[in-house]
Amino acid sequence: MATLHLMIGLPCSGKTTYARQLAGETNALVLTLDVWHLKLFGDDVGHEHHDERHQRIEKIMWDVAKHVLEIGGDVVLDYGCWARVERDDYRNRAKELGVDFKLHYMDVPYSEYIDVWKNEIETSLKARLKFPKRKWIDTSRISNRRPRTSLYEVSPDVQNVGALRYAVKARRRSRRISANES
């Protein structure tokens, strides 16, 4: 009997990695929302149409999943599905199609999750942003200034790479303004 597998977990909790492993074991089709979104629209976090695009892709992916399930294939939906309402919706869809339904919850300890998340952000930033190398530093004004924090330092309130990029740009702007005022 065909099975609909639904991945549940926070970003960077290992959903996609496990989904691919599960697909290899069960010969299932993996549908990863983030992969489709990045290929179609790039990293558009913060864009006014981001959520609308996400929902449209999700609908298309469900149409594909439904077709595969109807012909007897297994499907792994790698969406996240944090809300119980979403999980119940997919459970009901599977029931309507007459297929099995399995939830796969990525239970990662918070401390481990934060380490993975910080590493993911830092890796992503280093790959996407190029920081200029300074050949010289004017030390005459350093003693009057407070110490700078690293651009790679991640505060716990940063939820995604787009927000982190915005924070880095804001920090740079504030540094330029304070440098021009002195």
| Whether residue 102 sits in one domain with residue 42 | yes
| Whether residue 91 sits in one domain with residue 9 | yes
pTM of this structure: 0.62
Q: Around Cβ 151, how many Cβ atoms within 10 Å? A: 13
Domain boundary (58, 87, 108) is at 108
| Whether residue 30 sits in one domain with residue 65 | yes
Read off the pLDDT of each residue in 93-105 and give the average, rounded to a whole number: 95
Nearest to 34 by CA among 46, 26, 42: 42
| Whether residue 124 sits in one domain with residue 96 | no
- The residue segments making up the domain with residue 158 are 111-181
| Whether residue 55 sits in one domain with residue 144 | no
| Whether residue 52 sits in one domain with residue 41 | yes
**Span 20-35, pLDDT tens digits:** 999 999 999 999 988 8
| Whether residue 98 sits in one domain with residue 19 | yes
Domain boundary (50, 74, 108) is at 108
**Span 121-153, pLDDT tens digits:** 777 656 555 544 544 444 444 444 444 444 444
| Whether residue 93 sits in one domain with residue 16 | yes
| Whether residue 130 sits in one domain with residue 142 | yes
Rounded (5°) CA angle 18-118-124: 80
Q: Number of folded domains in the chain?
A: 2
The answer to whether the beta carbons of residues 99 and 1 sit under 8 Å apart is yes
